[in-house]
Chain A
Amino acid sequence: MIRTIIFSTLLVLGSSIIQSTWLGAIAVFGVIPDISLVVLVWVSYKNGLVEGPITGFVSGFLEDCLSASPLGFHAFIKTFVAAISGLLHGSFFIDRIFLPFAMGAVGTILKALAAALLSLLFGAKIQTYDFLDRVLWIEAAYNGLIAPFLFLFLGALKKLLVTESKRE
């Protein structure tokens, strides 16, 4: 379990660094995909309620250091998304295209909901998505589109990212 958490955290964190440096080149209307979120959704769905949220919490906490967000912002959001994904652990069979797309897109909307919740609690110190703005919906679609490819890649790393007892 610890090995899974370490590798997953490193992968989520590496994805965040790639997002901040390289993915600007493939931005659509200035919006970059959140590959770290898609990775986290997959890891949490495959591992359940312990490994996923711990990965989300640690990687989110470290991601707060890459961003202007207050410490704890990404930690909360990523733990929240991971917990919801972990709750669904093993509930359905993931196909090649449709479910990965849905998980990527819904994960993004969950992230926005978590940010909105924090904004309600902490006020102006927290920035959040505008649900009427195109940014959120472009990101949701973008994350959905890249999810099938990422899931395929992550499937190849199952030995590192999924606890042995939970591998199919």
Chain B
Amino acid sequence: MSETPAIRKIDRRRKAVPVVLLAASLLTLTISTRSLEGLPKRVGVSVFGFFQKGFSAIGDFVSNTTSSIAELKRLRKDYDELLLKMESYSNLERGYAEIRQENERLKEQLGYTSNLQYERIPARVIAKDPENVYATIVINKGIEAGIRKNMPVIAFQDGIEGLVGRVVEVGQGSSIVIPLYDTSSYIAARLATSRYEGLVTGHGSSDKPLVMKFVKKRAKDEIQFGDLVVTSGYESLYPPEISIARVSKVRALDYQTSIEVDLEPVLDFSRMEYVFVIKPEATADTGMTDAAAPAAPQDTGK
């Protein structure tokens, strides 16, 4: 049976729908990749942050309830261990007070005025990127808590303060953080011991090592396995001396003018629950008084 012109017209219209939508997507991408996306994205982050908080809370409730018995047993064991530890720490504390006094005296002689102090906003990780191709973290604090775009994010694990990444989108009550292992993240860094500088970037997955690029070739002989890499503070986004990763491998090729260093992050991103967002405006005192001191972070974002 032959189709009437009217049916053919409807059929053509139906086939045009996906084409029109694909064109609309491309148009949106064209606009958004030139960073004109601010408002709709912020509204979206706010709205979906609300739902993600809800889902995260339900998930937490279920998992917390089911694991509470095991948790109690573990707490009991931890309690006994902590009692023993506390005894040894009380001995250590006496020695620490003396060392601290000595440290203050030495600092004074070297020209340091005070330790670095940053205002930190504590936040909880409530979600991750819904897709495997992007690697973002969603935290439960946003504009209301004073968080702004490009603020650095750190976390503590096993007593170590490490860099997590930076805030890329802020909603009313939630924010999106891009971790340091993301391919679009670049961090000005230096080796803590030899002080050689480089640029740290990732491969998009927390399972893969970070890479420190553009490290001077002469640093090769001075870099040791396990050396700590910290932020240099030169790019103004990240405060200086925050731990990033440890050296796992050095790659030097004859035809290259610099070397690449593979790094293992100091933080385990798979078990990260709480983070701290650093307010850069609170970093007025960088801790150094001499002219050679590294520049303090000044801007809060682009």
Known contacts A49-B17, A79-B18; A30 and B206 CB within 8 A of each other: yes
Interface residues of A in 33-66 (CB under 8 A from B): 34, 36, 48-50, 53-54, 56-57, 60-66
Q: B25 and A57: CB pair below 8 A?
A: yes
Interface residues of B in 90-143 (CB under 8 A from A): 126-134, 136, 138
Minimal Cβ-Cβ distance residue in B for A142: B132
Tell me the complex Cα distance, A81–B169, Å: 27
Q: A115 and B133: CB pair below 8 A?
A: yes
Interface hub of B15, B133, B206, B207 (most chain A Cβ within 10 A): B133
Q: B134 and A139: CB pair below 8 A?
A: no
Q: A76 and B22: CB pair below 8 A?
A: yes
Q: A1-42 interface mask toward B, CB cutoff 8 Å, 1 = contact, 0 = none?
A: 000000000000000111111101100011110101000000
Inter-chain contacts of B128 with A (CB < 8 A) = 20, 24
Q: B18 and A71: CB pair below 8 A?
A: no
Interface residues of A in 108-146 (CB under 8 A from B): 115, 118, 121-122, 124-129, 135, 139
Select one of A62, A69, A121 contacting B134, CB under 8 A. Answer: A69
Q: A68 and B55: CB pair below 8 A?
A: no
Known contacts A68-B168, A115-B133; A53 and B205 CB within 8 A of each other: no
Tell me the smallest distance from the CB of B185 to a CB of chain A, in Å. 10
The answer to whether B21 has its CB under 8 Å from any CB of chain A is yes
The answer to whether B258 has its CB under 8 Å from any CB of chain A is no
Inter-chain contacts of A69 with B (CB < 8 A) = 131, 133-134
Known contacts A57-B21, A65-B44, A67-B136; A16 and B130 CB within 8 A of each other: yes
Select one of A21, A29, A31, A48 contacting B14, CB under 8 A. Answer: A48
Give the interface SS of chain B, mostly helix, strand, loop or mixed. Answer: helix
Tell me the smallest distance from the CB of A104 to a CB of chain B, in Å. 14
Q: State the interface size on chain B (CB cutoff 8 A).
A: 53
Inter-chain contacts of B136 with A (CB < 8 A) = 67-68
Binds A, one of B46-54, B80-88, B155-163, B238-246: B46-54
Interface residues of B in 52-72 (CB under 8 A from A): 52, 55-56, 59, 63
Q: A20 and B32: CB pair below 8 A?
A: no
Inter-chain contacts of B31 with A (CB < 8 A) = 71-72
Minimal Cβ-Cβ distance residue in A for B45: A65
The answer to whether B145 has its CB under 8 Å from any CB of chain A is no
The answer to whether A75 has its CB under 8 Å from any CB of chain B is yes
Interface residues of B in 25-47 (CB under 8 A from A): 25-33, 37, 40-41, 43-45, 47
Tell me the smallest distance from the CB of A30 to a CB of chain B, in Å. 6
Q: B27 and A83: CB pair below 8 A?
A: no
Q: B28 and A71: CB pair below 8 A?
A: yes
Inter-chain contacts of A122 with B (CB < 8 A) = 29-30, 33
Q: A79 and B22: CB pair below 8 A?
A: yes
Tell me the smallest distance from the CB of A89 to a CB of chain B, in Å. 10
Q: State the interface size on chain A (CB cutoff 8 A).
A: 56
Tell me the complex Cα distance, A66–B127, Å: 9
Q: A66 and B52: CB pair below 8 A?
A: yes
Tell me the complex Cα distance, A73–B184, Å: 16
Inter-chain contacts of A34 with B (CB < 8 A) = 130-132
Q: B32 and A22: CB pair below 8 A?
A: no
Known contacts A20-B130, A62-B44, A127-B133; A79 and B25 CB within 8 A of each other: yes
Minimal Cβ-Cβ distance residue in B for A75: B25
The answer to whether B187 has its CB under 8 Å from any CB of chain A is no
The answer to whether B176 has its CB under 8 Å from any CB of chain A is yes
Inter-chain contacts of A32 with B (CB < 8 A) = 132
Q: List 12 A-B contacts (CB under 8 A).
A: A17-B127, A20-B129, A32-B132, A54-B21, A68-B134, A68-B136, A70-B37, A75-B29, A82-B18, A115-B133, A122-B29, A122-B33
Which residues from chain B sit less than 8 Å from chain A, CB to CB? 14-15, 17-18, 21-22, 24-33, 37, 40-41, 43-45, 47-48, 51-52, 55-56, 59, 63, 126-134, 136, 138, 168-169, 176, 178, 182-184, 204-207, 270
3 closest cross-chain pairs (CB), A and B: A65-B44, A72-B28, A72-B29
Which residues from chain A sit less than 8 Å from chain B, CB to CB? 16-22, 24-25, 29-32, 34, 36, 48-50, 53-54, 56-57, 60-76, 79-80, 82-83, 86, 115, 118, 121-122, 124-129, 135, 139
